[in-house]
Amino acid sequence: MTSGEEPIGRRVARWRARRRLTQQMFADRLGRSKSWVDKVERGVRALDRYAVIQQVAEVLRVDPLVLLGERRKSSSTGAGRLDGVDGIRAALARYDVPHPTASVAEVGRHVANAWLTYQHARYAQVVRLLPRLLHAAQSVREAQPELLVQAYRITSSVLVKLGEADLGWLAADRAVAVAGGDPVLAGAATISAAQALRALGYDRLALVAALAAAHRIAPAPVSAPTSAAEPQTSGVSEAVPPAATAVHGALLLQAALAAAGCGDAHRAGELTGRAAEVAARVVADDPHRTGFGPVAVELAEVVAAVELGDARAAVVRHEQVVRRDAWRLLPAEHRAAYLVDAARAYLRVGDPGGAGRVLVDADGVAPDEVRCRPVARTVLAEVASARLAPAGVARLAALVGLSR
Residues 17 and 58 in one domain: yes
DSSP 218: S
Same domain assignment for residues 151 and 87:
yes
Are the CB atoms for 151 and 135 separated by under 8 Å? no
315 alpha-carbon distance from chain centroid: 20
Q: Tell me, yes or no, whether 87 lies in a domain.
A: yes
* 217 and 289 co-located in one domain: yes
Cα–Cα distance, 317 to 110 (Å, whole number): 38
- In the structure, what pLDDT confidence band is assigned to residue 55 with cuts at 50, 70 and 90? confident
One domain for residues 273 and 231:
yes
Three-state secondary-structure class, residue 233 = strand
Per the structure, how many domains does the chain have? 4
Given 180, 212, 237, the domain boundary residue is 180
Q: How many CA atoms lie within 13 A of 134 on its CB side?
A: 25
* Digit-coded pLDDT (tens) for 10-19: 889 988 988 8
Most trustworthy range by pLDDT among 85-99, 240-254, 306-320: 306-320
Residue 5 C-beta-side C-alpha neighbours within 13 Å: 0
Q: Which long-range contacts (CB under 8 A, 24 or more apart) does 191-195 make?
A: 191/153, 191/247, 191/250, 191/251, 191/254, 191/288, 191/290, 192/152, 192/153, 192/156, 192/157, 192/168, 193/156, 193/169, 194/251, 194/254, 194/255, 194/258, 195/156, 195/157, 195/160, 195/168, 195/254
Give the residue from 317, 200, 324 showing the smallest Cα distance to 269. 317
- CA 3 to CA 162: how far, in whole Å? 21
25, part of any domain: yes
Q: Distance between CA 339 and CA 318 in Å, rounded? A: 9
Answer whether residue 193 is part of any domain.
no
Identify the domain boundary among 50, 68, 86: 68
pLDDT, position 76: 36
pLDDT attached to residue 77: 38
105 is a domain residue? yes
Residue 122 lies in a domain: yes
Q: What are the counts of helices (DSSP H) followed by strands (DSSP E) for the chain?
A: 21, 0
Q: What is the CA radius of gyration of the chain?
A: 21
Do 209 and 297 lie in a common domain? Answer: yes
Tell me how far CA of residue 175 lies from CA of 100, 104, 267, 271, 372, in angstroms. 19, 18, 27, 25, 25
Same domain? For 44 and 129 the reply is no
Does the pLDDT of residue 391 top 80, yes or no?
Answer: no
**Amino acid letter for position 120:** H
Average pLDDT, the chain: 86
Please indicate, yes or no, if residue 120 is contained in any of the structural domains: yes
The pLDDT tens digits of the residues spanning 111-157 come to: 999 999 999 999 999 999 999 999 999 999 999 999 999 999 999 99
Under 8 Å between Cβ of 280 and 323: no
Same domain, 149 and 221: no
Predicted confidence at residue 402, as pLDDT, reads 67
The DSSP output letter for 206 is: H
Domain that holds residue 81: 75-180
What is the average pLDDT across 230-237?
Answer: 49
- Give the residue, 224 or 191, on which the prediction is more confident: 191
- Looking at 275, 308, 341, the residue that finishes a domain is 308
Whole-number pLDDT of residue 241:
73
Strand partners, 222: 233
Burial 202-231 (b: 16+ CB within 10 A, else e): bbbbbbbbbbbbbbbbbebeeeeeeeeeeb
The pLDDT of residue 237 is 47
Give me the half-sphere count of Cα atoms (radius 13 Å) on the Cβ side of residue 289: 23
Give the pLDDT confidence score for residue 274 in this predicted structure: 96
CA dist 241 and 328 (Å) reads 28
Neighbours of 168 (CB within 10 A): 27
314 part of a folded domain: no
